[in-house]
């Protein structure tokens, strides 16, 4: 049978965000996959060079909605190294707590999406309901549900009060029970299990060779985790296990993420119990000394990498981001080889892709100029103007 090439994307129901693959098919079997990225490229790296360090913090938060706190943590950790300041211990613990809550929320969200991809909508609804509790908790601590804006260079914005800690502990107990239940579902439900086991296998040698990161490589049995290898914030003080599974298939990646939720729950409990007192932020000068710094953070999807170079002015000279999804794309293409067409959604979902995050990003609307905060009135006027120009359809 001749090899048939079919393009999938940039719009496709299995892909929640724009990315394009060209699949080479031999009948029902995929023999090759070539990705085309950039549909959500917004040029944030260039834009950040024209923003002050504080503005760039908000920019970095907006790279990704789901792992937003991983981006700001990475940004402030890197920027603090450039500024030569250190956040107070309590702030570091709060960063750990918010990061781990974010990881739980991201993994639950992912589990729901995976369930939806295999047509298991009941699990999808259940996980997303439980995820709401994490979001409520995050809203209570930070005041926001998606972009938390908790981190600042030199500390954090909001403290965690004892009442909040009590509430969080209760939610953790509930979530632990639920997560154990989901683990049983993933291990025991025959249909769900059939769709995931032995699908999209990534061998440990391929995972290392192609520099996969995060749960994708840990699902192949390679024990690597930035939180352990290159600890930041207070991760060197909070005990946890690095979860690995050896099979390398979609099921192993699922179980890695579910077990990581359980680890995160324990980490949050430990951090809440052992939080040191004191200040939550320190003052930071406007201008850093010239220099450069690297920051690495274990985002829910894997290693997040920032590089900031300063030339002594108020604006970063170079701001470089490498998100985990980009690192996992070569491994994904390897995993897609030799699978059935019907498994494509599962395998693509198994790396937990975040396309907007990966493409990063150019554009702010020029007509808005440099204005970031809009009043309701201005927004109304803008919308009226827009409709005048474009006509009502």
Q: Does 307 bind other proteins (CB under 8 A)?
A: yes
* 3-state secondary structure at position 286: coil
Q: Does 116 bind other proteins (CB under 8 A)?
A: yes
Residues 27-66: x where in contact with other proteins by CB under 8 A, - otherwise, as a string = ----------xx--x-x-xxx--x----------------
Nearer to other proteins, 252 or 326 (CB): 326
Q: Are 107 and 174 in contact (CB under 8 A)?
A: no
Residues from 233 through 292 that contact other proteins (CB under 8 A): none
The encoded tokens of residue 378 equal 């201005």
20-26 and 155-156 beta bridge pairing: unpaired
Q: Which residue has the tokens 């939806």?
A: 116
**Which stretches within 197-323 are classed as H helix?**
204-209, 215-218, 226-229, 250-273
Q: Does 14 bind other proteins (CB under 8 A)?
A: yes
Nearer to other proteins, 87 or 210 (CB): 210
From candidates 10, 18, 32, 330, binder to other proteins by CB under 8 A: 330
Q: Are 108 and 282 in contact (CB under 8 A)?
A: no
Q: Does 208 bind other proteins (CB under 8 A)?
A: yes
Q: Does 354 bind other proteins (CB under 8 A)?
A: no
Shortest separation between residue 67's beta carbon and other proteins, angstroms = 17
Q: How far apart (Å, rounded) are the C-alpha atoms in residues 50 and 57? A: 13
DSSP 30-81: EEEEEEE--TT-B-HHHHHTTS-HHHHHHHHHTT-STTHHHHHHHHHHHHHH
- Contact residues for other proteins, defined by CB under 8 A: 13-14, 37-38, 41, 43, 45-47, 50, 81, 115-123, 125-126, 129, 189, 191-192, 194-195, 208-212, 224, 229-230, 293-294, 296, 303, 305, 307, 309, 317-318, 320, 322, 326-327, 329-330, 340-345, 359, 362-363, 366
């Amino acid at each position: 049978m001749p090899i048939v090439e079919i393009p999938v994307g940039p719009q496709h129901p299995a892909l929640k965000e724009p990315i394009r693959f060209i699949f080479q098919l031999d009948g029902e079997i995929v023999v090759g996959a070539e990705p085309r990225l950039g549909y959500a490229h917004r040029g944030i790296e260039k834009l950040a060079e024209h923003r002050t360090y504080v503005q760039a913090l908000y920019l970095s938060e907006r790279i990704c909605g789901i792992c937003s706190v991983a981006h700001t943590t990475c940004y402030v950790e890197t920027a603090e190294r450039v500024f030569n300041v250190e956040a107070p211990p309590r702030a570091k613990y709060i960063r750990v707590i918010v990061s781990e809550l974010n990881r739980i929320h991201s993994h639950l969200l992912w589990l729901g999406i995976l369930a939806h991809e295999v047509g298991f909508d009941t699990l999808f609804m259940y996980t997303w309901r439980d995820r709401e509790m994490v979001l409520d908790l995050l809203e209570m601590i930070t005041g926001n549900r998606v972009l938390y804006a908790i981190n600042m260079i030199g500390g954090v914005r909001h403290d965690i009060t004892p009442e909040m800690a009590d509430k969080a502990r209760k939610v953790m107990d509930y979530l632990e029970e639920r997560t154990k239940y989901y683990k049983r579902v993933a291990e025991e439900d025959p249909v769900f299990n059939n769709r995931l086991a032995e699908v999209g296998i990534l061998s440990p040698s391929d995972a290392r060779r192609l520099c996969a990161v995060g749960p994708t490589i840990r699902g192949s049995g390679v024990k690597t985790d930035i939180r352990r290898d290159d600890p930041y914030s207070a991760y060197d003080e909070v005990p946890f296990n690095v979860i690995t599974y050896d099979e390398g298939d979609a099921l192993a990646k699922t179980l890695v993420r579910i077990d990581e939720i359980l680890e995160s729950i324990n980490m949050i409990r430990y951090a809440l119990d052992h939080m040191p007192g004191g200040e939550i932020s320190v003052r930071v000068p406007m201008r850093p000394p010239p220099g450069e710094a690297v920051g690495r953070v274990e985002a829910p999807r894997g290693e997040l990498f920032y590089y900031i170079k300063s030339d002594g002015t108020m604006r970063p000279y170079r701001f470089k981001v490498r998100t985990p999804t980009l690192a996992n794309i070569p491994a994904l293409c390897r995993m897609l080889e030799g699978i059935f067409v019907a498994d494509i959604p599962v395998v693509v979902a198994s790396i937990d892709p975040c396309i907007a995050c990966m493409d990063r990003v150019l554009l702010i609307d020029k007509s808005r100029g440099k204005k970031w905060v809009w009043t309701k009135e201005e927004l109304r006027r803008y919308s009226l103007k827009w409709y005048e120009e474009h006509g009502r359809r």
